[in-house]
Structure 1
Amino acid sequence: MKSIPSKNNSTSDLSRHTAASARAVKLRELIHVHDYQYYVLNSPTVGDSQYDNFLEELREIERIFPELITNDSPTQRVSGEPLTEFNTYTHSEPMLSLANAFNKEELLKWDKRVKDNSENKKIDYVCEPKIDGLAISLIYNSGIFSQGATRGDGQTGEDITANLRTIRTLPLRIKADTTSEIFEVRGEAYLSKSEFERINQERIKAEEQLYMNARNTAAGSLRQLDPKITASRKLNMFIYQLGYSSETQEFDYHFDALQWLQKKGFPINPLIKKFTKIDEVVDYCEKLEKQRDSLNYDIDGVVIKVNNLQIQKQLGVAGREPRWAIAWKFPAEQAVTKLQKIEVSIGRTGVITPYAKLEPVIVGGAKISMATLHNFDHIQKLDLRAGDDVIIQRAGDVIPQVVAPILANRKLGNVTQFMMPTTCPSCNSTVKKDLDNAAHYCSNSACPAQISRQIEHFASKTAMDIEGFGEERSKELVNLNFLRSLADIYTLKNHYSELIELPGYGEKTLKNLFIGIEESKKQPLEKLLIGLGIRHVGNETARLLVQSFKNLDNLTIATADDIAQIQGIGNVTANSIAHFFSIDRNQHLIKNLLDLGLNTSVNRQIIDGDLNGLIFACTGKFKTWSRSEFENLINSLGGRYSRTITKQLDYLVFGVDGGKKIEQAKALGINIINEDEFINYLAKQKDA
């Protein structure tokens, strides 16, 4: 971890603050990227330990300089975004992440914080093996399993009900205490070691490529569109928490709730234990680490929770993590391999990042052939050279880091020192070093590598969602000079006669590509803002900007002070947004996008309605909106959309062929209105 600039009264305060601000910006960008790769793509690119270092470093910067905390900081919210193969699902309560402890000292510090912030100084703890699987949420209605979802980004996941039904240890029916009872349980789906071995043996016989680890195989199994494939994988699960309940199911202790769930027929891990002393917790963690290889499932640590539920409420949540729970992480797995070559990649902001090309090696159940080296200073600090034997480490299921070279194995005639290029490998422009941090960057804003990355981001599912614009196609179209800016995407059809002659651009491919481009013009304004790649602007910030400014014209002339007035947007984010729109080439881009017909305003009849945080759900088919358009409408007007019926819901809006949600809502006494009544409700809100 880098050293954090201290806050003091010396004359160098300003430079320290500037350095801290720049480093925080970089860390947030890194963490957001790695969250996306880990949670959305299931293709992580850094190891657990490196990711944890990034997060701890950012948290320390924000502790020393609290004015640098931004609304979209990974420390302030649960990370991460859902995939799109399945319908989205909004959790009634966030599925939180956990802070980490890597040794006894860190666990004792957490224990002290818990006791210092609790009215009750006698704390019991519940210890649970940290299963290396996929977090899931299960909904039961009157004793029947009715819906299930993945964790996703903590707020929104994927509805994988059909696939979860195939898990034999999941009870499809339990004895309900009342006919109207609706409750949620949370747990971890996983693939046992023996089942993983069986699947790979079958793949050997079929001469198919082997799966690399059980965790990714389990995640991929639950994301199969065909439940028959999921069923063939024989997944398993453990339940670790009772969520919300429509009835007053009172428990004083977490351990009692687990015992109640076990009696109901839910699989609870038999290794879960309760302790009254923190030293007993440490002993448990150390013993379980020694025992992990003998278990028939993968674990990467221990989850420690405060047992008393009232104390849990008192302690609350800090940003993305509950204060009443922590994960003791086992040491990272390591392996030795050859560092074959050091190369560089260019990001959409021009930052040049060196990475290691490695002789493939298995670490933590995954084949590793590349690892980021972060920056030139990092390479110098480790004294890494191409040709070195190096130690690679990988914690759990996340991507590796190069720990160190094995100097005893180094033969000077067989290794090569790395020198950061002085000119950009893509455009030959001068490479400069950022004075505020260790990053090198290409000085040419028209660099083809930057533009292709910008286009890839703009067209991604997170932003404008243009199918067919992946990394390779973006790079190819830029290199062929068909695309030189984001606006060129929308004039690509003018090059049909040239494109049709190229390999891989048949008539059907081009037709689908052009349809996707044209459809993207209808994307809501918040998606466009994300696509522009403004630093610090994620989903939530984009939504707040649209809610406040209504159209892009208003936003482009807003000052940083204007933007900072919005609750939830800090000064750093406001300055970044105002700076983006002050740049001439960005102003030119916005004008072009407007002329090309993109949606640059809230394109709905009612733009001033304020739903004031009310929670809405829907069922059936609407005349006016699709399901996703209804969700976007609710969010844009300050409300919250839910896919489940809970007692927290304010309104259920139904259309034609409304389903069983209507009966569920009636049982809970929720307001139920039809589509026309909802439109009238919005009109009244507008006139109010």
Structure 2
Amino acid sequence: MSDSIQQQHAKLSEALHYHAVRYYVEDSPEIPDAEYDRLMRQLIELEQANPELVTVDSPSQRVGGAPLSGFTQVTHQVPMLSLDNAFDDSELKAFHKRMQDRLNSSVLGAFSCEPKLDGLAVSLMYENGVLIQAATRGDGTTGENITQNVRTISAIPLKLQGAGYPTRLEVRGEVFMPKAGFDRINEQAIAKGDKPFANPRNAAAGSLRQLDSRITAKRPLGFYAYSVGVIEGGELANSHYQRFLQLKEWGLPMCPVVRKVENLNDVIAYYQYILETRDDLDYEIDGVVIKLDDIAKQEQLGFVARAPRWAIAYKFPAQEELTILNDVEFQVGRTGAITPVAKLEPVFVGGVTVSNATLHNADEIQRLGVKIGDTVIIRRAGDVIPQITGVVLERRPDDAKAIAYPVVCPVCGSDAERTEGEAVTRCTGGLVCSAQRKQALKHFVSRKAMDVDGLGDKVVEQLVEKEMVQTPADLFKLSAGRITVLERMGPKSAQNVIDALDKSKQTTLPRFLYSLGIREVGEATAANLAQHFKSLERIEQANVEALLEVPDVGVIVAEHIKAFFAQERNQAVIAELIESGITWSEIKEVTNAQELPLIGKTVVLTGSLSQLTRSDAKAALQNLGAKVTGSVSKKTDILFAGEAAGSKLAKAQDLGIEIQDEQGLITLMQEHDIS
């Protein structure tokens, strides 16, 4: 064996030991989980090829790191091991084949499947049904005594309910922080000027390992049980899934999407279902855990050094990866906001290749301490715009360059100013700035605004660059003949654009308000304004006090609305738009809001609709008094489902939420004269 292989092994071992301590002990990881997994796999492959490299303290033989000295230590009677990982179907099938070979049987039976929660693993020891001790996993053999802190978590029973539980029972599970709770405590931290948590896992771990349990008690922590350790003075079911149900009977929370499935194909289908519904869950997960359901077969299969042979974590595509920040460009939005955009070495993350990410503003650049040339952590979750969440300082090159924030607009050269109390720097050029004009026009014609089909971004950019359009009202002065000079715009395409502009003139008041691009006025606020005031004239004349009576409108939003309508140039554009023929149906007065059938109801719209456009259906629901949200939760009252509704329909059925079809909505519209 060469010296270079030994050096590679030593380097990998040292890196994994270091990052294990950062993750398990200090709760301050420096690299994404996917990067740690890659390093571990490299080490395991190296040791498989060179077995003489394996030592008792190799990272491949251990789980996590040593406990901190601030808590007393607890020795786990049954070690709390980790799990091996699968990253694609072929690796899952290989795991399945290994179990078949070891059991010498092609029939394995059912599997218990659950989401892989991203929190902190804990052990709960009950004696005669009373919680006497709680501990972290630590290094798998020795953890930290966190009993006082765990007792503050309302989801964890201090005494088991019912009967039939063993005299001594160790329950294992995950303490986590729900996404809603995480958002709330970070908002509170920012308001106090404190540093926010980086992610829900860090928040949960940091909350659970406070020396002052009164701090833990104030944190919104949850818990789901997932297995047992010590069992004395009693027996549990011989099925892993049935054990879940027993624990639930005794008062221990069980993840609501745990399922028992019959075969490998069902396991893969479960994985896909959880992957698709991941963003609807109120807790962070990074994969699913698959366990052979038969406990006798689990015991027959046994363990390797660091993981059971009968379970595996099937990880989702990484939502975090490392890449290089090559440059930063500054873009100007429709309200003049100058936003730094990171130009990255392309990296595959969250299922797509990412080469750009937002850096938000100057404060965020300063908070991250990021420089051009740095190795950065890039995160992409669901449909969220990719963003940089951290910097790997140990990899910073000597020639890394500081990011210089512009003092003038990078497009028009006007002064860039930052209002006191705001995080955003803005171009002061207004309509002089072509970037602002382009973005304002793109917003005006977008699907959720005036919905002008065929008038895409490239066409808008050409119209501005050729100075054919200055304001949204100028769009309605165009003719097919004039726009045929644009690239890829033949006579037929030109006429289609003009026809689409004419069609868009029949709109709704919420759409028209949204299309104006008033700062902080999104779809929901536009709908609330229209429903509250019933007419554009009343909105234009409203003072701040009147605007504050509108649901979800605060002082800042009210001041932006008032300021927008106070500007003469905005009034002139609105007048021109009305003169061009833009109209909408009158919003009828409702003398008693309780007459609206969906008043106070939270509804979700999903699936394909055959008789209504999605935007018209959403507007109708709002006119019927509903609050329309994008995801199904326990707070959802009704799901309106079209064809091919998918995961949202399945979740609503699981939660017992009322479900109506498109015809149900149309009937409500007809009964209450909503068009």
* TM-score normalized by the length of structure 2: 0.49
Question: Greater Rg, structure 1 or structure 2?
Answer: 2
* TM-score normalized by the length of structure 1: 0.48
